[in-house]
Structure 1
Amino acid sequence: MDHTNHVRLTNAELTPSILEGATIYGPDDEKIGSVDHMHVGGFLGIGAKPVAVSANQLDFMRDEDGDVHAVTRWTKDQLKSMPEHHD
């Protein structure tokens, strides 16, 4: 997927209602997870094994259809090696 023409979300758009369910793509455009939930302070639970990451470490955007997704430099293996997040 070519993300160059996608519109970046503003800080005001980084809300649970917009981000939850967003697909996360890794460096090779591989789907590595999705946003499961959001905590105060901008931390997200991502993936089948939920891990906590800061929202500012992801580049959130909308594609041509208006669907929200994000890209990151992390790989699926790097996310798997992070400690599991518990609510």
Structure 2
Amino acid sequence: MDHSKHTRLATTELTPEILEGATIYGPGDEKVGSVSHLHGSQVVIDVGGFLGIGAKPVSVAISELEFMRDEDGGVHAVTNWTKDRLKEMPEHVDP
């Protein structure tokens, strides 16, 4: 996917309504997870699993992700985190 033609989201667009469910792509343009929900300034990403079953939730700073909208209006993000690196992170547990 050529992300260079996608429109970056403005800070005001970084809301749960827009970001939840967004696909996250890693440095090799591979799918590394999807946004589960926001937790303050953190994004909780479901990593691994199949159709949401068995996925591990991990938390990263929203600044670690570059959210954008594709030509069809779909929201996704890119990051330098690999799926393996995300899986190594501690599991996120909401208080």
Q: TM-score range by the shorter chain?
A: over 0.9
**Matches of 1:81 and 1:46 in 2, distance apart?**
13
Secondary structure at the residue paired with 1:66? Answer: coil
**Matches of 1:57 and 1:28 in 2, distance apart?**
16
Residue-pair matches, total: 86
Residue identity in the other structure for 1:43? Q
State whether structure 2 residue 48 is matched by structure 1 residue 49.
Answer: no
**Matches of 1:33 and 1:27 in 2, distance apart?**
13
Shift of 1:27: 0.4
Shift of 1:50: 0.3
Runs of 5+ consecutive residues of structure 1 not aligned to the other structure: none
Shift of 1:36: 0.1
2:76 to 60, 69, 73: 69
Secondary structure at the residue paired with 2:5? Answer: coil
Residue identity in the other structure for 1:72? T
Alignment of 1:7-86 (within 5 A): 7-40=7-40, 42-47=41-46, 48-86=55-93
**Matches of 2:20 and 2:30 in 1, distance apart?**
19
Shift of 1:44: 1.1
**Matches of 2:59 and 2:80 in 1, distance apart?**
15
**Matches of 2:9 and 2:35 in 1, distance apart?**
15
Normalised TM-score (structure 1) = 0.97
Normalised TM-score (structure 2) = 0.89
**Where does structure 1 differ by over 6 angstroms across 4 or more consecutive aligned residues?**
none
